[in-house]
Chains A and B, each alone.
Chain A
Amino acid sequence: MVVRASGQKQQLPAVVKPAIATAVANIIMAMPAAAEAGKLFDFNLTLPIMAGEILLLMVFLEKFWFTPVGKVLDERDALLRNQLGSVLDERDALLRNQLGSVKDGSSELAALTAEAEKLIKDARSEVSAMVNAKKSEKQSELDKVYNDAKMKVTRETESAIAAMEKESEGLLKSLDAQAEKISSEVLKRVLPEGVKV
């Protein structure tokens, strides 16, 4: 398959048709006019040699370029993935910790609330105890006063009653004596002298 390229000589000026005459002349000067007719499609041993060179290059590049560099790329990829994963894990752990501490805070809060409630309750109970104590103290004081007064009144009443009873006894006694006297007087007047009762 050998195609003569001498046809190029006639074709090229057509490519540069708009160029001026000098240009055309220059092109013709530049063309390999004097050389033997060139062969564009000149297949020969160059083809298998080139194929061999390319295969050689492929073997070389596989060994020294694409395999080792690809390995480095893959390793870096894996490393980055790992680091990213561990960083994410760390972040998750951190978040979880923080969430936990937030939960702890809520329990602390509950404890504090309970403590406060207890304090309030204690204070309240203390106050109420104090109030009760005062109340009972006053009550007992009042009771004492009341009892004393009552006792005094009772005693006075009793003594008064006793005095009255004594008086009424004396009165009765004197009444008896008077009645006896009166009756003996009556009898003396009624009955003849000399009659003994």
Chain B
Amino acid sequence: MSDFLLNPFSEIAEVSVGQHFYWQLGSYEVHGQVLLVSWFVLAVIFGLSFVGNSNLKSTPDGLQNFTEFVTEFIRDLAKTQIGEEEYLKWVPYLGTVFLFIFVSNWSGALLPWALIELPNGELAAPTNDINTTVALALLTSISYFYAGIRKKGLRYFNRYVQPAAFLLPINVLEDFTKPLSLSFRLFGNILADELVVGVLVSLVPLIIPIPIMLLGCFTSAIQALVFATLAGAYIGEAVEDHH
């Protein structure tokens, strides 16, 4: 390639796929860029919580409005998916999942992480790493098993032969496809979004990528909502009464 074709923005518009900033932890490796951004996300949520909830009043002001809005939103979601009786127990889990994914996605979409250079790989939303999404999906699987067994005991496993015994393989398969689809949906959406934005920025660095970036913000929010809603739906399915 000739030099004049070199995009002056190629430094910040660089797309690195599958590059990781490895840390060595004993004999194990971890993805440093994911952990760094996830700590940032945790710090943001902790900060929000401290600022919003440190002085709760019956007449809300400032950030308390926001935290109350989020709480009511999650409660509504949980009530719709899980049902009137059980939903309150699952509000913290669904709220955590929603907030973590939402803040992760938006930090990836809005913050110019590429300005901070790493030796290898780049900082991005933690949710564009398969480890994070699989962790979330596995926690969701554990959650709905726990919810079902706690509610029904061993009768929970009756649902594998519902509505007919020959559906047993499909029902067993569902327990694998659920976390798989959950994790890959989130991972794929966020990674694809970052790739599309990266590619577009490398093509036309100004103005043109903005609609795609806005779409990215929208997708990010929707993915957080979808993940939380599906987690709630799976838990609700596990605790619902069959006759």
Identify the A interface with B (CB < 8 A): 4-5, 8, 12, 15-16, 19, 22-23, 25-32, 35, 37-51, 53-58, 60-62, 64-70, 72-73, 75-76, 79
Contacts and interface: CB of A to CB of B under 8 A. Distances in A.
Given A26-B203, A53-B38, A60 B46 contact: yes
Contact of B28 (A12, A45, A61): A45
A69 B67 contact: yes
Contact of A5 (B17, B39, B129): B17
B229 interface: no
Contacts of B13: 30
A26 B7 contact: yes
A61 B67 contact: no
Given A51-B139, A70-B75, A30 B199 contact: yes
Contacts of B95: 61, 65-66
B49 interface: yes
A180 B216 CA distance: 177
Given A32-B15, A73-B68, A79-B58, A26 B202 contact: yes
17 contacts: A12-B199, A22-B5, A32-B15, A32-B19, A37-B18, A39-B20, A46-B129, A47-B138, A50-B38, A50-B131, A64-B53, A65-B53, A66-B95, A68-B53, A69-B64, A72-B58, A73-B72
Given A23-B203, A44-B29, A46-B30, 11 more contacts: A12-B199, A22-B5, A27-B199, A46-B131, A47-B138, A50-B34, A54-B97, A54-B135, A69-B68, A72-B58, A79-B58
Nearest to B20: A42
A29 B6 contact: yes
Given A35-B19, A51-B135, A29 B10 contact: yes
B133 to A, nearest CB: 9
Contacts, number: 174
Interface residues of B, number: 67
Nearest to B202: A30
B230 interface: no
A63 B124 CA distance: 29
Nearest to A15: B199
A54 B30 CA distance: 16
B174 to A, nearest CB: 21
Contact of A49 (B1, B30, B88, B100): B30
Contacts of B139: 51, 54-55
B45 A57 contact: yes
Contacts of B42: 53, 56-57
